[in-house]
Amino acid sequence: MESTELLRRTPLYAAHLECGAKMVPFGGWEMPVQYSGILEEHAAVRERVGLFDISHMGELLVAGPNAERALNELFTNDVSKLAVGQAQYTLMCNQQGGIVDDLIFYRLEPSVYLVIVNAANIETDFVWMNTNATVSAVIENLSDRYAGLALQGPAASQLFEFSASLPHFHIQRQDVFGTECWVARTGYTGEDGFELFCEAVDSPRLWKMLLDRGRRLGIKPCGLGARDTLRLEMCYPLHGNDITDETTPLEAGLGRFVSFEKKLFVGQDVLVNQKEHGVDRKLVAFRMTKKSPPPRPHYPILADGRKIGEITSGTQSPTLGVGIGMGYIESAEVAVGKAIEIEVRQRRYPAVLEKKPILKRGQ
């Protein structure tokens, strides 16, 4: 149990209370888990638009003539493929190939990068990057100075005139209703949407403005509860649950974010070896096939009556109305469509291995 006295608050703390949020500890922060209810907020994002506070996430600025080289040593994906204004999803690994963090970063200028890291890993990542790059770059932790808001959902683009000129996975400097922001067309929900980074002091005004302008579209403030169900339907991994410093990108099915062609990066030896010889366990997605209690982390996964793995994330899917989840199982057991069982309180419930993402779009 985290002590509430030690928890940090985002600049939107008062705004959350005003919106009727239920606050919970998350990654060292006191964050809204929900406002009107997880199911309602989840539906708002899938059908209309929702607004999230993501100010707990860290913003690191990496700059200098060696910035690209430094990041290419630290990250698994190929940084040199990124044009100015583009975003890339990548992983940062340790020498054993374990995932220190997963992150999205943006090339703001030819030698300036904005790196967005997980809330619980800000200090770890900052120290890791400073100690493990062999060339020097300026790495600045701007996490206290910047706030982050995520506007997600099919109607999100209707709020901004600049939507048409900001393609998916790109970032631009924009004036958003009077607030200067870095606006990225990225997110963690599987829907179209934007992530806005602005000076912390400006964020309460931007929050109110977005809720106000979004009212005609049916906007809802959304908490971490809906953020978790939305990302899990899309099988986006959560660091600390589905990926940790003891699991590798190849085990997690994230090999497409590892560049095996580029020069040396931390963890490369292990990952190359895993690519050649395979891995013993893999992160799979599953869906319950009958009514069952919601699957939860650490519940056993069985096949033919034998334990083959354990759940890392699970929930009741608000969109599908059944239990869904992810977990690591023995590689030999991996096959889409395979019947498995999930054990909940000594009882077994049928499930099936699904192709990722669990929520198939355009259906």
Task: Note the residues at the interface with other proteins (CB under 8 A).
Answer: 22, 33-34, 37-39, 225, 229, 291-294, 296, 315-316, 318, 345
Of 42, 34, 262, nearest in space to 152 by CA: 42
Tokens, residue 207:
């929050």
220 and 242 Cβ atoms separated by less than 8 Å? no
Provide the β-strand partners of residue 24: 31
Provide the β-strand partners of residue 149: 53, 196
The dihedral through the CA atoms of 293, 294, 297, 299 has a sign that is: positive
Query: Residue 152 or 316: which CB sits closer to other proteins?
Result: 316
Rg over alpha carbons for the chain, rounded to the nearest Å, is 20
Query: To which H or E segment does residue 28 belong?
Result: none
Residues 6+ positions from 235 with CB-CB distance below 8 Å: 285, 326, 356, 357, 358
CB of 135 to other proteins, least distance (A): 44
Query: Residue 58 or 318: which CB sits closer to other proteins?
Result: 318
Distance CA 10, CA 356 (A): 33
CB of 240 to other proteins, least distance (A): 16
CB of 299 to other proteins, least distance (A): 10
Query: Residue 267 or 318: which CB sits closer to other proteins?
Result: 318
CB of 322 to other proteins, least distance (A): 10
Distance CA 212, CA 49 (A): 13
CB of 146 to other proteins, least distance (A): 28
Q: How many Cβ atoms sit within 10 Å of the Cβ of residue 124?
A: 16
Query: Residue 31 or 74: which CB sits closer to other proteins?
Result: 31
Query: Residue 183 or 288: which CB sits closer to other proteins?
Result: 288
Tokens, residue 224:
């971490």
Distance CA 250, CA 270 (A): 10
Helix axes 224-233, 38-47, angle to 10 degrees: 50
Extended strands (E) in 226-294: 281-288
Query: Residue 43 or 266: which CB sits closer to other proteins?
Result: 43
Query: Residue 88 or 316: which CB sits closer to other proteins?
Result: 316
CB of 94 to other proteins, least distance (A): 31
CB of 292 to other proteins, least distance (A): 8
Query: Residue 157 or 315: which CB sits closer to other proteins?
Result: 315
